[in-house]
Structures are given as structure tokens and as C-alpha cells.
Structure 1
Amino acid sequence: MLHQFTYPTGNQIGPEAMAGVLRSVHAANRERHSVELILADREGSIQFFIECPVELRAILLVHLLDAFPGAKLERCTDSLLQRHRPNLFQCILLRPQLPFEYLRRQFDRHDPMTAVLSLLKNSGATRSHARITVRLWPARESRCRAAERSFRLHHGRCYSKAVQQSFVRGVVHESRIVRLMSRLLAPVFVRKSMRSPEPGDKLTDCLFETQVCVEVQSDETNVAVASEKLTDIAGAFALFASNENQFTVAAAGSVRPVGHAGLLTPNEIALMWHPVKAEVQVSKLQRIESVEVEPPIELPIQGRHARLTPLGRTAYRKDKRLVGLPIESLRRHVYVTGKTGVGKSSLMLSMMTTNMRDNLGIALIDPHGDLYLDVLCQTPKRRTNELILFDPGSDQELVPFNPLDTSSGIDRGRVADGVLSAFVKVFGLDTATAPRLLHIFRSALYTLVEQPDATLIGINRLLTDTAYRKAAVARVSNPAVREFWHGEFGRWHERDRAQFLASLQNKLGAFLSNRQLQLILGQPKSGFNLRRVMDEGGILLCNLSKGRLGEDSANLLGALLLSSLQLAGESRADIPESERRDFVCYVDELQNYSTTALATSLSEARKYRAPLFVLANQYREQLAPELRSAIIGNCGSVVTFQVGSEDAPFWSRHFGGAVTPESLMAMPKYHAVANILIDGMPSGPMTIKTMPPPIGIGAKVEKLKRQSLRQFARPRVELEQHTDALFG
């Protein structure tokens, strides 16, 4: 049976582990079946193969996977190698100058297989294919006894061994007769006091009868080149020889010779055939890009867990079970990380598709627009009336959004704080760098939320129009806010006041001068009620494409939406927990919208069942330190795709060392390491392969857009008239 053997890219285990595997095979192979260790240049890459009988397959599999964690031994058809049948052949044999000595055993500076692998690969200029086969089987008892006699003859205390050897070789020339004469004359030349084999001697180890064969296949036009390649590969085996034992070419032709097997230990064989370490750089050497981690025995299943949200399938040998998150696990939030283009958006699309089909309420904040359209294509027809499309970059009808709207009963102070945290995120400010600016801005927001039909567009008027400010402050119920306007603000000199307000007005003007933001944020009533969307299980899709809105404007809208979602979820404290419908919020490129309040919401949103966050970003340094800690501490499920060199050591430690940093950096596309919650407890890391989402129907997109706009949008002309009146 032919098997392909592949091992992880980050392998740090060398010939010592391979020697241990061979010893186990020797102990189990009582029938003396032959095993072939093959190195082949196939399909443009260098691959490892093992050919063994059925009786030894389980032994090899168990010991190889134990010695090389993450490796694969997969059965393949013999035709994989028979396609390149050799027309040039050489058999390399061990021809000892002295009886039964070791091959070379010490390689301090380099792996000796590097040269052999470099010569084996196909340069591409020719169509020749090479193969090295190490054929071995346990040595017969007669060969072992002969080896012991040779050992004692060679290591015995001789009066004159040189005279003995010269006498024997001078009398006879046939090798068998030489060995016979040596045994007969040994008592004459060798003393009786001979030492016994020591633990480090070759006789104390198990022995294999071993053949090494090199084969090259080529077409008729490249015979000379193939012959040269054959000679080079055979010559490379001189690296493994010692002064006493040399490799020589014993046969050449198109037929493999029989016999001529030298006695080698597992250590000697392992030096010639072993998985090379990660630092050995050989182009075209096939390795497993990532380690496969064994999943837990019990995984959530569809029948036992309601509303299972699939992540993918396990990627561990032949185990391809479905991996999903029950709603109880979603309530503890999900964090997805990985480089751009590795499959984060595809995973979220699959999850949202399932959520919509299970009648779960969802929200999406997408900074690019592609995921927004893909989810729109997957929307079930029966949920058309629940769909809200918030697309502020549109040049047609727009859905207004007023983050200062308190008509749903949310505490006014919390609304003002939420809006302030969104602007602080976009401004990049904190109390240490701009304390006075934040103090003025906070007081202005606390004043605006108590005004009828207040919007963010009116904040400049509040700061500059004395009559309007006096009327607005008269409606404020918070005495601390009134004291600020009447006391501190009123005592400032006009020149100082203008200077203090200039910085805030400049920052606000950079956003509120954007015409699209004016039309959307300048309306007293939002086109949708977030509390109602959560309670009724609606679908809110937000297209915050930076290319259409500008980066700063898109980030501000996203931060305002995220803050409003958090406040709407917390307002559900007025209804019993059993009546709160689960609502999942998906946020792509989290770093663009994350505010300081998000860290607190991760620990509290589970109680309100909204929003249940599925957060995604590329690397940890994009996030503020407190948010990084909150994600690790509160996100029950973590899915890590391919990451960079800075993040890989951290996630390797997070997964308990089950995955090496090198494997995380080389994770294939659409593959990830997941640690999910199962019945409230972490499952431990496992490798998964995400599933492609079903193909959506693009033709229904326009129909869905028209239906949503008819329900929630307002004509652009009407929005412009109301916004222009605010500036009049």
C-alpha cells in the first residue's frame, strides 16, 4: 500500500524521531515485510511516500503521528508513482572497507538531506523525474550473527590484523571465501580477550537489511541530462558515508537488481530519509501549511441545540463534522481575526445567512459594501418587510438617522454619552489631551438631548447663537449643565470663548459640512427605531462604504450606530428576560468604530440578549488596549484565521501551545483555529474549514431595495428642505 506522508511547515523534529519510528516498525515486523521509504519529484514538488503492507499500516500511522504532531499519512494509488516509470536506474550499496562500521553519524552544521533534496527537484528546463527509494526489512538471524563475528574480529585485540587481512586477501579474492577464511584464521591472529559490545555500538541496536536505489525517468531527448542528474544524486550519498563505510554504485540499467543489502541501524536510515526541520529551506518541498488540531469528542449538533449557527467543518484527518454555535454560545459573543482576504467576511456571510433563515434579528455594519450586497442577496423572501437598508452613500432616497432621538425611552444622559464617545473615537481625543474641549462638547450634548426635535446639526447654532442658547438652556433640567452655561461659560471673556470654541467648531465642521451627513443626521426623527428592530427581530444592513462617504464620515456614522445599538439593547431592562429576543450585531473592521463603551457592553449585553456581537478585524494592535483585554476576557468563542508575525505568538499562547506560531502564519485560506463555547465551557482549539455560503439571487436585490426604501426612506428633496431650514 502506497501512502503519501506530509508534515507541518513548522516541524522542529529531525532524524531522531524518525529513528524511533523505525525501531517500532522493526519490533512489530516479525514477518520481515519490506518497507519502502520514497522521495519523489512529482507534479513539480518533492514529496515523501511510504510503501508498506497492510499489516504495518496502523503501526506506521500511530508512531509517525506521535513522533510528528500534525503530520498526515494518506493512502494514495500506486499510479501516482508509476506514471513516471524509470528508464535509468542505479542501485547504491554499502561497500565497507572495514567490517560492520557505522555510517557517518554527526552533522553539526547542516542537515545532510538538504543536498539530496536540492538535487532531486526538477529545474523545469527538462522533463525528467527522479525518485530515491530506501528499501528495508528486518535483518535475518544469520546476518546478525555474521555481523557479530565481524564486530569481534574487527574489535578484538590482534597481534597483527594487517598481516591477517593481507594474508587472506592474497590467497583468495572471492568475497564469501574471504569472510570464511577470516573466521577460520581469527583464532590465530586475535586474542581470546575480546571486549563485548557496548551500549553505543551498532550491534546493540536493531538492524535492517537496506537497499538504496535512485531512479530517473525522462524522454528520449533528455537522456544525457537525466544521466547526469542520476550521477549527481548518487554522488550526494557520499555525505552519509564514513571513512570506513562508503556508498558505491552497484548496478545501473533499467532493471532493479535483487539482493546486495547492507546492514543499517534506524539512526543511519533516518539520516537518509526524514522530515527536515523548518529552518531547512528547499524550494518545492511539499509540506502541510498548517497543523490540524483534533476537535473535541462532543460538538453541538442540530437536533440537540436550537438555532445552531454553523462556522464550518472540522479539518482533522477524515473528521469532517459540522462545527456550529448554539444561541447560548452566541450570547457570549464571537471574535474573528485574521489577515485581509483569508475568509473572515465569508464566515460572517454564512453565519448571517443561517441567522436570517432561523428568523433571528441581525444587524450588519460593513465598511466596504461587498458584504452588505452579499447578505442582501441571501435575504429570505418571507423577511422582506423586516429588511432595513441604511445606505448613506446613495444619491437617491435616504434613510435618516438621528442619534439624539430619545423617543424610544432611552435615558437622555446615556444618549449624550454615547454620541460623545463616538466623536471622541473619531477625533482621537481623551481627557488628558483636550479636557476643555470635551467639557464644552459634553455640556452641549446634554443640552441638545433635552430640546424638542434636536439634531447634531444644531450644535454649532447652540455654540454661536446667543438667543438660541438662552432658550435652550432654559429647557435643561440638569442643574450642573445649567450652571456651566450660566456660570463658567458666561464668565469667559468673548475673546477666550471664541478661542475655546474654535477648536471644537473646526472638528465638528469637518464632519457636519459633508452634505450626505447633513441630510442623514439633520432630521429630527430616524427612519427606523432600533429598539423596535431588536424587539421584533428585524434585519438592519448598513453600507458604510468609505469610497462613497469618505473614511472619517463613514467611521463617525458607524461609531454612532454602534453606540445607539448598545443603548437600545440596555433599554430592554424594562421587559422580562424571557421576553427579550436575541439580536446579533455583526461588525466588520471593528477598529473603525470601536468606542470605550464597547468594552463595557461586551460584559453586559448578554443579559439583554442584544446586541450579541460578532466582531472581526485583522490584528490586535488596531484595537485600544482596554478593548483587547475585554475581547479576550468576554468573547466566549474565538476564530483565528491566518495572522501576521506579531499576533501569531500571542494566539499560539492563547490556544495553549496546541498550534505553533509558524502554523498560524501559514494557515491556508478559509481555514482557521477555533475555540468555541460548548455548554458554557471552552471546547479547546480545533482546526476548521469554513463552508462557502449558498449562491444568492442577484436579480432580487433591486426589488428588496425598493421595498425597504418605500418603508423607511424619505425623498432627498424633502430631506434637503428640512436640513437647509436649520442653517437659515
Structure 2
Amino acid sequence: MNPEQGWLGRALLAPGSALADLTESVQQGLGSVSGLGVVAAVLAVLAAVRIVAEWRRRRLNARARQITVLTPPEVDAKGALAFWAHLIGQLRPAWARVLWGQPHLGFEYTVTPEEGAAIRLWVPGAIPPGLIERAIASAWPGAHTDTLEPARPPVPVAAKGVRRIVAGGELRLGRREGLPLSTDHSGDLVRDLITAADDLAPGQAACVQILARPVTGRRLARTSASTGPSGMLAALAREVLGMVTPGPITTRSSRPGAARDGRATDRQTTLEYTAAARAAAAKARGPHWETVVRYATSIPVSDDPEDTNPRAQARAVAQGRADALATVFGACTDHNFYRRRRRLRIATLIRQRRLGRGDVLSVPELATIAHLPTDTGLPGLQRAGARALSPAPEIPVGGEFTKPLGMADTGTRRPVAVKISDARHHLHILGPTGVGKSTLLARTILDDAEAGRGVIVIDPKGDLVTDVLSRLPSRMGDRVVLFDADSSAPPPCVNPLDIDRIGRGGMDLAVDNLVTVFHRIFHQWWGPRTDDIMRASLLTLCAQPGTATLADLPRLLTEPAFRARITHTTKDPVLRGFWDSYETLSDTGRAQLTGPLLNKLRAFLLRPFVRAAIAGGPSTVEFSDILDNGGICLARLPKGSLGEETSRLVGSLLVARTWQAVTARARVPAAERPDAALVLDEAQNFLNLSTPIEDMLAEARGLRLSLLLAHQNLGQLSRELRDGISANARNKIVFAVSPDDARDLARHTEPWLSEHDLSHLDAFHAAARLLVDGRNARPFTFTTRPLDPPIPGRAREIAAAARARLATSSPANSDTERTDPARDPRQP
């Protein structure tokens, strides 16, 4: 091919001629197109660009979420630097920015009289879930985040009958964006912002919004072009020459004839220029963000068109409040400063969170205007009560052979649980009323019931048992044993003196427990003589054929004929000596000795529920069957119905009977002992056994009984109980406690959780220190999971099934023969 025949060949041989030919061809092409067509083409291109931009904006903003940040008690001033530097990694590659755009964040301060000051982050759906939350937790340890869909705009909108006067604007850099703002000034800019918006009237609102997205290298190069290395080198050269060269220094700004004043002015200008160049060079280092700052205040007014004066007043108030917000940013003035710009429809701009072309800021500059306040005494600020700690990886998430506790309050909010083998070391649950203890207990009870593990629950308030009954599956009705002090139906009977049920070998333990329970509950009126009388009387009754009850004790002490029939068969010489000395007393002397015991017994036995449940004859329920065969024993003993002392006494006797059944497991090989649980709400009321608490907890672990000990504060425990539970209940779950208790409990959680954290936990929010395979894991925080809604009528259905089961399980023939009046010397 001849090169002269082609355009490339002509361009190589005769460049000027080829260029002229190309120009002529372009002019002819443009001449053939009408002017209207050019305009239409331009408009079409602009419309396409606008459509693509709107499509990208909607795609970026889809599935947006709003993160409310609760400020921790102590804020690290450098946390904002770490936060914004960490998020610079969200900058997309060039091809992704061209196709999909670059998502931006919204850092917002909102102040209303109703909710106080809130700090929120608006996050588009294009940013992965959980990323911002983890960055906040890393930058500000102890901060809490609550992620929701944006429910309402930052600035309230008008409602029916109420109009909104909105004033505000936009802050943009007043000089070249390559020059920096001040990042080192006294005070806290966020504190000043919140203070400027303080004292709002009801319905008013203030908002400062900072939109930011990472900046590309190309944009940063354009930003620093005017203050790049050449400018800085020239300034440095002039400064060096001024130092070594005598005589005046002239610049372009020098005026002819300006002798001494000119030299001073030139010198100052040079120094200022040099300082600006150095500051710009320092700003050019590191990552950068493109930002826009918007602010607005909203004042509600009446929608009455005739009411013009309040509307004018509201406009003046709104403008004054908005100016106060903008004035705060004057503290950022250095080589650069913020200049106000009035923007139409500022409320719409803030609501839509659009970020067009903004100002380039370095990470320190952005951290100066967008951070958590460091002032600990800032009023109205929504603060985090306690730091949130994620559970260690070895903490179970649930499943078989675990007890569920709740959900972790950090990260992915995974479930947390405790292994059954570790629960044998017992759970100590502490917290005041209304913080979530009963919810946690109810969930563990329902889980034990579902897993077929035996569980015994003693509830002195009644709500816990009611919650469990209303949520148990119907199929479990035949496993339930129910003690309900408010029910008119006959309760089951658990006779603490039914020795035949536990064996004669357990008589001494039964009597010791019974005497100790009375002694500890009535310790103010209990002396050694009362203790001696009760112990000898109970041993005498238990030594007789048949089944003794507590109702026989007053008759033994006050009826001579009944006492003679019982004691004449007593073979124990010590007991015979006691009764011989007792008979030598006068009636008055006997009354003085037995009075403290008898008045307590009568107050106890005069209640029909107590007499039927404790002194109603042979026991109709065996706690060993409940523990070994997956039974569910629910004892509802409200103090309002029984009285505080009676409720404590009945509950303590049930615990004593449970302990007797547990100690009988010692005859069973360890591998054959099924796991069971004893749940004690307000546990300090019922731990009144003769066995020391530390020995009881240690033995229960080996016998595979896990105790859940719940109460409100450490002051409820005696020194013996406090030391025993602290050392032997090794799984600690702490809800919000008083500062005094937090000081003692922090020994179990420091340095991860301080006493401040333990005393500032939210409702249904707890700190846990659990065992994992017998070893202490580090503490963590979690939230309890709410119970499922109660099933209407389920509580009555389960109670009816329990009564029907009780009616069919009447005492065996041997029991009937054992209580035959003809053979029982206790009968008249």
C-alpha cells in the first residue's frame, strides 16, 4: 500500500497539509448539523448524566441504616483519629467509583429537649453491616452502638397544624482547600456545639451534619497543586536569602519608594507565606476526606396564617440558634477558616444527605469537627452505661448440654451459654428488681425442662413461677409438681419428718436441718433451751412407729396424756433423761420454756396451705424422683400471701428436703447421676441448712446438682453466705448493682470491667464471668433475651394437670398401714 494514499502516510510526509484536511472535515461535519440538534444533543447528555448520578445516589443510599453512638464514660481524645484513619480503607478502586460511585458517611449531632444530645452515624447500605460498629468499638472502647433503620429525619418535618421554621446553611472553606484548619485549640468543639444548642424549648431541634467520603489521589493532587513543592521551595529560598543577604528584600507586592515600612511588610509576608506552605505540606501527608458541613435549627409555629408575629419571632430565634452553631466552627480558624453559605431548602439537603463536591480535609482536621465529646460532665448527652465486651471464642453459643444466657451485645450479637458441666460450679446472679434476673431464670428453667433435666424452683414473689407455667408445653404437664400458696386446691405434701421415705439413717440430718432452719429464721427469739427442746422432741417423734409431723410437736409438749403414750416407749437414755426432767417442771415452768417455740409453730401451722404442704401426713412427692427423672417442681410462695417468715420457713424446708435427696445420690456411681438444678430466687431467704454453705456448694457439684442463686444485693447475705458464695459459686452474672456492691464485685472482673461498668449496666444488660471447662474465661457483657409471649390458659392447664397427677398418686398401702390409728401411739 502506498503510504501517500492513506491519512497516516500523508500525516507523516506532510503534517501541515494533513492537519488542514482534518480541520476542514470537522468544520464540514459540524456545518451539516443544525444548531438545534447540537443543543438537543447537549441536553440529552446532561440528562443522561443526571439520570446516572441519581441512579448511583439511590443505589448507594439503599438499605441505609442509622447508628446511635452512646458515649463511654471516658473518651480518648485520639479515638477520632483512629476512627477516620481506619475507615479510609473504604475507598473503592477507580473502576468501581466510575460504575457505582463512592459511598459517604454522615456524622450527625442532633439536640432536642425530649431526647437530649445524640450522636448518630448515617451509613449507606453499600458499606458492609457491622463494619462501622466495630470501628467505633475499636476507636472508643466502652462506646455502645444501636443500629436501626433511619426512622425520622435529623431535622423534624412539619406536621398537621404545626409549621416548621428552619434556618441554617452550609460551611465551606474560605481559602484554598490545600491550607489547613486548626487542629489544636483549647476546649472541645463538640461540647461547644451541644452547649450552643442547649436550653431548647419543647418541639425545637438543632442539627449539625458532617458528610464525608474518602478522597482519591488525583483529587488530592489537584488540591495541593497551588501549594505544592515548588511553592514551598521558593518560599524557603526567599527566607534563606533574606537571612544571608544584606539589604532590603523586594517582592511583587512591594511598592516602589516603600523604604523601611516596605521592608517590614515584605518580611512579614514572606514569613506568612512560608508558614502557610509548610502547613499545606503537612496537610498533604496522610489520608484525606471530602467533606461538607451543614447546620440547621427547627422551630415549630402555629399553622394559623393570621398569626404572623410568632412566626417572625420563631424565624428570628431559629436564625439566632443557627448562627450560634456556625459560630462554634470559628475555633477552627488557622491558615484556613469556615465561611457560611446560605442554602435554600436546607432541611431537604440535610434530610437527603447529598454530598456533591466538598472540601478536602485531612484526618486530623476531620477528627477535630467529628468526634465524641471528651467532657465527662456534659448535660443531656446520651451516654453508655458500661463498656461492652465481646465474649471469648471459647464461650459456647448454645446447643445440647448448655444453659442459654442471652445474646452478646457486640459484633454479630451471637448467643452465649454456659456448659452443663461448668454450671455444676453454680451460678451467682446478682441485681436489683426489674433488671432482667427473672427473665434469665425463666429461660434457664424452660431450657432444663425442655432438655429433660430435673429442676426445682422456689419463688418468694410468684411472678417467676407464673411466667414458667404460662410458657411450658402442654406435654410437660404430667412432670410438674406445683406448690401454690394462692391456690385453693390441696398442695402436695413434703413432710420433713417422713423418715421412712429417706431411711432411718437420714433421721439425724433431717432433724438437724429442721432445727437449724427454725433457729436461723427466728434467731432473735431462739436460745439454747428452745433448741434443746425442739431437737429432743423431734427425735422422740421420729423414733416412734408411723409417720410423724410437725403438728404432733405442740401436742407432745402440752398434752400430758399424749406425751405419756409417746415417751413410755423411748429407749434412748438421753431422751428419757430429758423427758424425766421435763415432767418435774411445773406447768408454769414448762410454759415458759416452750412458749418461744410454740408461738412460732402455731403461727406456722395455722395457715391451711402450710399445714397441708408440710404437716399433712406422709409425703406425696419425692424430690429424688424429681431430680433423677426430669421432674419440674415449682414452689410459688409469695410473701404477700404467706408472710415473710412463713415464706422463708416453707422454702427453707423444701431446700432441706432437696438436699436430703441430693446427699442420697452418694450411693449412686458418679457416671449414673443425672444433672439437675435448684433455682432459688432471693436465695438468702432459703439457705438455712445445718450444712455450711461452702460445704454444700462443693458437695453439690460432685453430686451433679447446679444451684442458681439469685438475689438483689450483697447486703442481704450474712458474712458466712457471702464468703461461701463468692468462693464456690464460680459463675458470676451481674446486672446493674449499687456502687458499694460494684466495688466488691469488680475483683472478679477487673481489669476488663471496672466498678463503674458494673454499676452502670442498662436494664436486661449483664456482665458475666463464666467457667469454660473448669477454667475462668475473661468477662463479657450480654443482654437477656425476652421471653416468648405467654400462652393464654396454659398456666391453668398445667396446674390442672399437676393436681390430677397428685390425685392419682395416692400413698401406697404400706403408707396407709404405717399411719393406721390403731397402731399409731400418737393418735388419741
User: How high is the TM-score relative to the length of structure 2?
Assistant: 0.70
1:698 match: 792
Question: Superposition pairs for residues 671-710 of structure 1, below 5 Å?
Answer: 671-710=765-804
Q: Which of the numbers 8, 14, 17 marks the counterpart of 2:79?
A: 17
- Residue 8 of structure 1 contacts residue 71 of structure 1 at CA under 8 Å; is this kept in 2? yes
2:476 matched to 1:383?
A: yes
Which residue identity lines up with residue 325 of structure 1 in the other structure?
V
Question: Superposition pairs for residues 33-182 of structure 1, below 5 Å?
Answer: 38-41=107-110, 44=115, 45-49=117-121, 64-71=136-143, 88-91=168-171, 93=173, 105-107=185-187, 111-120=188-197, 123=200, 125-126=202-203, 128-133=205-210, 140=224, 142-143=226-227
- Residue 224 of structure 2 contacts residue 284 of structure 2 at CA under 8 Å; is this kept in 1? no
- Partner SS for 2:625: helix
- Partner SS for 1:419: helix
Q: 1:59 to 1:537 in 2, by over 3 A?
A: closer
- Residue 652 of structure 1 contacts residue 658 of structure 1 at CA under 8 Å; is this kept in 2? no
- Give ranges in structure 2 of 5+ residues lacking alignment: 1-59, 95-101, 158-165, 257-261, 302-310, 350-354, 810-820
Tell me how far apart the structure 2 counterparts of residues 339 and 507 of structure 1 sit (CA, whole Å): 31
2:521 match: 426
- Partner SS for 2:378: coil
Q: 1:89 to 1:122 in 2, by over 3 A?
A: farther
- Residue 447 of structure 1 contacts residue 476 of structure 1 at CA under 8 Å; is this kept in 2? yes
Question: Superposition pairs for residues 358-437 of structure 1, below 5 Å?
Answer: 358-408=451-501, 409=503, 411-429=506-524, 434-437=527-530
Tell me how far apart the structure 1 counterparts of residues 702 and 418 of structure 2 sit (CA, whole Å): 18
- Residue 11 of structure 1 contacts residue 278 of structure 1 at CA under 8 Å; is this kept in 2? no
Which residue identity lines up with residue 396 of structure 2 in the other structure?
P
- Partner SS for 1:698: coil
2:373 match: 276
Which residue identity lines up with residue 390 of structure 2 in the other structure?
E
Question: Superposition pairs for residues 521-536 of structure 1, below 5 Å?
Answer: 521-536=614-629
1:252 match: 342
- Residue 329 of structure 1 contacts residue 680 of structure 1 at CA under 8 Å; is this kept in 2? yes
Which residue identity lines up with residue 343 of structure 2 in the other structure?
G
Tell me how far apart the structure 2 counterparts of residues 75 and 336 of structure 1 sit (CA, whole Å): 29
2:741 matched to 1:647?
A: yes
CA drift at 1:418: 1.0
- Residue 93 of structure 1 contacts residue 211 of structure 1 at CA under 8 Å; is this kept in 2? no
Q: Deviations over 1:250-277 (max 9, x none)?
A: 43333899999698782x6544432124
Q: Deviations over 1:104-146 (max 9, x none)?
A: 6334xxx453231133469354455422437696773753656
Which residue identity lines up with residue 49 of structure 1 in the other structure?
L
Tell me how far apart the structure 2 counterparts of residues 270 and 613 of structure 1 sit (CA, whole Å): 51
- Partner SS for 2:435: coil
Q: Which of 48-57 and 399-408 deviates more?
A: 48-57
Q: 1:28 to 1:559 in 2, by over 3 A?
A: closer
Q: Which of 555-564 and 133-142 deviates more?
A: 133-142
Question: Superposition pairs for residues 296-335 of structure 1, below 5 Å?
Answer: 296-300=392-396, 306-320=400-414, 322-335=415-428
CA drift at 1:544: 0.6
CA drift at 1:628: 2.2
Tell me how far apart the structure 2 counterparts of residues 153 and 281 of structure 1 sit (CA, whole Å): 49
- Residue 338 of structure 1 contacts residue 344 of structure 1 at CA under 8 Å; is this kept in 2? yes
Q: 1:477 to 1:317 in 2, by over 3 A?
A: farther
Q: 1:418 to 1:41 in 2, by over 3 A?
A: same
Which residue identity lines up with residue 572 of structure 1 in the other structure?
R
Q: Deviations over 1:197-239 (max 9, x none)?
A: 999x98899697997734216489554332221111122335x
Tell me how far apart the structure 1 counterparts of residues 580 and 746 of structure 2 sit (CA, whole Å): 57
- Partner SS for 1:362: strand
Q: Deviations over 1:52-86 (max 9, x none)?
A: 99899999877653331144678888997687798
CA drift at 1:541: 1.4
1:295 match: 391
Q: 1:350 to 1:167 in 2, by over 3 A?
A: same
Q: 1:476 to 1:315 in 2, by over 3 A?
A: farther
- Residue 456 of structure 2 contacts residue 678 of structure 2 at CA under 8 Å; is this kept in 1? yes
Tell me how far apart the structure 1 counterparts of residues 758 and 372 of structure 2 sit (CA, whole Å): 20
- Residue 250 of structure 2 contacts residue 266 of structure 2 at CA under 8 Å; is this kept in 1? no
2:19 match: none
- Give ranges in structure 1 of 5+ residues lacking alignment: 172-180, 716-721
CA drift at 1:415: 0.3
Q: 1:471 to 1:279 in 2, by over 3 A?
A: farther
Which residue identity lines up with residue 323 of structure 2 in the other structure?
T
Q: Deviations over 1:524-555 (max 9, x none)?
A: 31221222333333221111122222222111
1:225 match: 317
- Residue 368 of structure 1 contacts residue 546 of structure 1 at CA under 8 Å; is this kept in 2? yes
Q: Which of 416-425 and 590-599 deviates more?
A: 590-599
Q: Deviations over 1:406-432 (max 9, x none)?
A: 1121511100111122212321459xx
1:178 match: none
- Residue 92 of structure 1 contacts residue 250 of structure 1 at CA under 8 Å; is this kept in 2? yes
CA drift at 1:687: 2.5
- Partner SS for 2:137: helix
CA drift at 1:459: 2.4
- Residue 336 of structure 1 contacts residue 614 of structure 1 at CA under 8 Å; is this kept in 2? yes
Tell me how far apart the structure 2 counterparts of residues 82 and 378 of structure 1 sit (CA, whole Å): 42
- Residue 474 of structure 2 contacts residue 794 of structure 2 at CA under 8 Å; is this kept in 1? no
Tell me how far apart the structure 1 counterparts of residues 105 and 404 of structure 2 sit (CA, whole Å): 43
Q: Which of the numbers 449, 460, 468 marks the counterpart of 1:356?
A: 449
- Residue 84 of structure 2 contacts residue 363 of structure 2 at CA under 8 Å; is this kept in 1? no
1:463 match: 557
Which residue identity lines up with residue 17 of structure 1 in the other structure?
G
Q: Which of 349-358 and 146-155 deviates more?
A: 146-155
Among all aligned residue pairs of Structure 1 and Structure 2, give the percentage whose two residues are the same amino acid: 24
1:621 match: 715
Greater radius of gyration (CA): 2
- Residue 392 of structure 1 contacts residue 544 of structure 1 at CA under 8 Å; is this kept in 2? yes
Q: Which of 692-701 and 288-297 deviates more?
A: 692-701
Q: 1:76 to 1:486 in 2, by over 3 A?
A: closer
- Residue 100 of structure 1 contacts residue 147 of structure 1 at CA under 8 Å; is this kept in 2? no
- Partner SS for 1:378: coil
- Residue 403 of structure 2 contacts residue 447 of structure 2 at CA under 8 Å; is this kept in 1? yes
- Residue 426 of structure 2 contacts residue 730 of structure 2 at CA under 8 Å; is this kept in 1? yes
- Residue 392 of structure 1 contacts residue 520 of structure 1 at CA under 8 Å; is this kept in 2? no
Q: Which of 248-257 and 685-694 deviates more?
A: 248-257
Tell me how far apart the structure 2 counterparts of residues 496 and 341 of structure 1 sit (CA, whole Å): 51
- Residue 35 of structure 1 contacts residue 53 of structure 1 at CA under 8 Å; is this kept in 2? no
CA drift at 1:348: 1.9
Q: Which of 56-65 and 12-21 deviates more?
A: 56-65
Q: Deviations over 1:543-576 (max 9, x none)?
A: 1122222222111101111111111110222232
2:697 matched to 1:602?
A: yes
Q: 1:8 to 1:479 in 2, by over 3 A?
A: farther
- Residue 135 of structure 1 contacts residue 212 of structure 1 at CA under 8 Å; is this kept in 2? yes
- Residue 407 of structure 2 contacts residue 784 of structure 2 at CA under 8 Å; is this kept in 1? yes
Tell me how far apart the structure 1 counterparts of residues 481 and 472 of structure 2 sit (CA, whole Å): 11
Q: Which of the numbers 474, 496, 504 marks the counterpart of 2:597?
A: 504
CA drift at 1:27: 11
Q: 1:398 to 1:50 in 2, by over 3 A?
A: closer
Q: Which of 253-262 and 337-346 deviates more?
A: 253-262
Q: 1:367 to 1:100 in 2, by over 3 A?
A: closer
1:571 match: 664
Tell me how far apart the structure 1 counterparts of residues 328 and 194 of structure 2 sit (CA, whole Å): 10
- Residue 65 of structure 2 contacts residue 125 of structure 2 at CA under 8 Å; is this kept in 1? no
* Larger RCO (alpha carbons 8 Å, 6+ apart): 1
CA drift at 1:482: 4.5
